[in-house]
Amino acid sequence: MEVAIVGGGICGLSLALNLKERGIACRIYERAPEIKPLGVGITLLPHAMREFSALGLGDELLRAGIENRECCFFNRFGQLIYREDRGKFAGYPFPEVGIHRGNLHVILHQAVQKRLGLDAVITDCECVGVDQDERGATVHFKQTSTGKGRDSVRADVVIACDGINSALRRQLYPNDKIAFSGINTWRGVTRHKPILGGRTYMRVGSILTGKMVIYPIVDDVDGKGNQLINWMAEIKRDTTEQNDWNKPGNLADFFPLYESWRFDWLDVAQMIRDADQILEYPMVDKDPIDRWIFGRVALAGDAAHPMYPRGSNGAAQAAIDARTLADLLRKKPDTREALTAYEAERAGPAAKVVRTNREQPPDFINIRVEELVGDKPFDNLDKYITQDELRALSENYKSIAGFALADVAGR
């Protein structure tokens, strides 16, 4: 069997590594002219680390990032709402790791090159469509850098791992649209002394009045003991104008909302001002689809189930797709039967995560407290909601997203 993987991101690289482990030949076709570290931070939850550890990369990822000890929820006045242990500190068999997305991508890419060969990833290949017949599928490409045509590729199976703007999904769903609900985000990285001990994932405020997610991704980034801190500002407004992935962030677009955020434990405004880099992104996803399989073509990762970048679940769901698909292609001799089984196993759970990230995300705790208390400081939170009730909200999200302790420990 020969598998053509369209897209060399987290999903495509993970799939290639899983296929190699199962003795299935594959090659990745990536639209970028070269693979280089891009982006800002990402959190690898225990169920994501389970998948990467199974590929032998767990220790390397842990060394490249920071193991989270706890997650703390604060209101926009800096008051602690709720805290919980995370990863191994909460009894999971795998850690929770904050890491630079570029470092994660480089580690996966280098593993593919080492195990599959230097020609396993073909860059500067933009997919423009696919044809198929009873014997196989043919993927058509053009050169991204010049727009010139490239040789088509013949394969038994084609897997679309080319992200939220997937060319293959667009061919299969020509009326497919991005869903935008008025939430825009700005992401940055700042060199800063460790916050709250340097092993804490922080959710501050809510999207209704201004929200920040803050966590460290690199230790001692400058040889002076400072960490590289990843932060994301998230704001819901009554607008149809969405941010652009390809533009640097403009401080004036969001900073006024956070200018007064100065807490005993962190000067948020100064952290934003000191950023090395600010990028803007829209908070978008797509409505879940039941059909991921079209003959010999399958969707995976963000091409199958783009979800809001909240809850740290995109990378985990992509890695689970990759392992599930590789397992079934090995176990079932009939390719189409394997693809159908993959769709049956993954489409439902992934759709639940997409809907939950929209309707009741992990920071629903912050929203709920703001609703109960009002947009003001509190004197005794227990008068409004108990810690047990807040814990139940957190555990409910973990269960739906597939990383409740029993789910991860039980595999």
Q: How much is the pLDDT for 347?
A: 96
As to burial, measured by CB atoms within 10 angstroms (0-12 exposed, 13-18 middle, 19+ buried), residue 91 is: exposed
Residue 136 has pLDDT above 70, yes or no: yes
Name which CATH class applies to 2-38+102-177+288-359: alpha beta
CB 101 within 8 A of CB 399: no
Q: What is the DSSP string of 216-284?
A: EEESSTTSSSPEEEEEEEEEE-S-S----TTSB--GGGTGGGTTT-B-SS-BHHHHHHT-SEEEEEEEE
Which stretches of 160-218 are DSSP H helices? 167-172
Q: Give the residue from 91, 85, 98 showing the smallest Cα distance to 405.
A: 91
Q: What integer pLDDT is reported at residue 140 of this predicted model?
A: 98
Contact (Cβ atoms closer than 8 angstroms) between residue 79 and residue 11: no
Closest CA to 166 of 2, 336, 376, 11: 11
How confident is residue 237, by pLDDT bands cut at 50, 70 and 90? confident
Interval 246-286: pLDDT, tens: 789 999 999 999 999 999 999 999 999 999 999 999 989 99
pLDDT tens digits, 159-169: 999 999 999 99
pLDDT tens track for 28-63: 999 999 988 888 899 999 999 999 999 999 999 999
Instruction: Give 343-373 pLDDT, tens digit per residue.
Output: 999 999 999 999 988 887 778 899 999 999 9
Task: Scan for tokens 């909601």, then name that residue.
Answer: 385
d(CA 97, CA 67): 5
Please tell me the predicted confidence (pLDDT) of residue 411: 62
pLDDT at 107: 98
Q: What per-residue confidence (pLDDT) applies to 25?
A: 97
- Residue 294, H or E segment: strand 293-294
- d(CA 220, CA 218) in angstroms, rounded, equals 7
Query: What percent of the chain has a predicted confidence (pLDDT) above 90?
Result: 84
pLDDT on residue 265? 97
> Would you state the pLDDT for residue 238?
85
pLDDT above 90 (res 5): yes
CA atoms within 13 A on the CB side of 344: 7
Q: How far apart are CA 72 and CA 1, in angstroms?
A: 47
The answer to whether residue 126 scores a pLDDT higher than 90 is: yes
What's the pLDDT at 96? 97
Contact 280, 185 (CB under 8 A): yes
Better-predicted residue by pLDDT, 65 or 403: 65
Mean pLDDT of the chain: 94
Q: State the pLDDT at residue 360.
A: 78
Residue range 200-208: mean pLDDT, rounded: 94
Amino acid at 240: T
- How many residues does the structure list for the chain? 411
Name the one residue in this structure whose structure tokens are 């995370």. Answer: 86
Rounded Cα–Cα distance for residues 294 and 132 (Å): 10
Question: What pTM, to 2 d.p., does this model score?
Answer: 0.94
Sequence-distant (6+) residues with CB within 8 A of 5 are 12, 15, 16, 26, 27, 28, 29, 159, 161
SS3 302: helix
As given in the structure block, the two tokens for residue 165 are: 């703007």
Average pLDDT for 309-333 = 92
